[in-house]
A and B are shown apart, each in its own frame.
Chain A
Amino acid sequence: RKEVEQDPGPFNVPEGATVAFNCTYSNSASQSFFWYRQDCRKEPKLLMSVYSSGNEDGRFTAQLNRASQYISLLIRDSKLSDSATYLCVAQWSYQKVTFGTGTKLQVIP
């Protein structure tokens, strides 16, 4: 079993739609979680950290469920510019980090 698993997609959604991605992790000792965004042929960039209490940044909401060992990302009012691959990251043992394979999102007009 992979340490961090994501549905690769693609998720094809119309503009304005709400879309959610889940990511499961196998190491219960994982302490920090992040969502990175990667555009085609570009490097990953931090989208947001994921906190235990959940956090929101504009149209983006991240949640952590430690009991079920998954994190989620919710995107509201999808824009064409949201089209990208979203990478889930779990981190433990101080900086030991694993990326998921990514979920591809395509927002269509």
Chain B
Amino acid sequence: EAGVVQSPRYKIIEKKQPVAFWCNPISGHNTLYWYRQNLGQGPELLIRYENEEAVDDSQLPKDRFSAERLKGVDSTLKIQPAELGDSAVYLCASSPGRLGQETQYFGPGTRLLVL
């Protein structure tokens, strides 16, 4: 079974430029998460989707970050404009979304460097 797919794996941009990350979750997984992980820290939840609905976006900096999950399958996370402090690893995870099946499966992440 294919795991969570993310692209690109690495991205280097200059500040004030836009950037987008893509995630394809495990087939059949209803719940999709976007996390940001800074060096030496644990993953910080940005947004969680149940199918196509964003059910928790309280930690998403909405002035510059946006996300979508059209058709409840793959998802895109966008930053516009990027700031130096956005340099981090952006992780996507998915889970079946059913009670008792809460294990999250992570993609390899996108390493973003903002210069």
Interface residues of A (CB under 8 A from B): 4, 8, 32, 34, 42-46, 49, 87, 91, 94-102
Q: Could you tell me how many residues of chain B have their Cβ less than 8 Å away from some Cβ of chain A?
A: 25
A97 touches B40 (CB 8 A): no
CA distance A32 to B42 in the complex (A): 18
B42 touches A102 (CB 8 A): yes
Whether A94 contacts B99 in the complex (CB less than 8 A), given A43-B91, A43-B109, A45-B106, comes out as yes
CA distance A4 to B97 in the complex (A): 22
CA distance A8 to B95 in the complex (A): 27
Whether A49 contacts B43 in the complex (CB less than 8 A), given A95-B97, A96-B56, comes out as no
CA distance A102 to B91 in the complex (A): 16
Whether A95 contacts B40 in the complex (CB less than 8 A), given A43-B91, A43-B107, A43-B109, comes out as no
User: Taking chain A's interface residues, is the majority helix, strand, or loop, or is none over half, making it mixed?
Assistant: strand
Question: Which residue of the partner chain A has the closest CB to B45?
Answer: A97
Which residue from A42, A87, A95 sits with its C-beta under 8 Å from B102? A95
Set of chain B residues within 8 Å of A4, measured between Cβ atoms: 42
Interface string of B43-66 (1 = CB under 8 A from A): 111001010000110000000000
Question: Which residue of the partner chain B has the closest CB to A2?
Answer: B42
A34 touches B108 (CB 8 A): no
Whether A87 contacts B103 in the complex (CB less than 8 A), given A43-B91, A43-B108, comes out as no
CA distance A96 to B97 in the complex (A): 12
CA distance A98 to B44 in the complex (A): 7
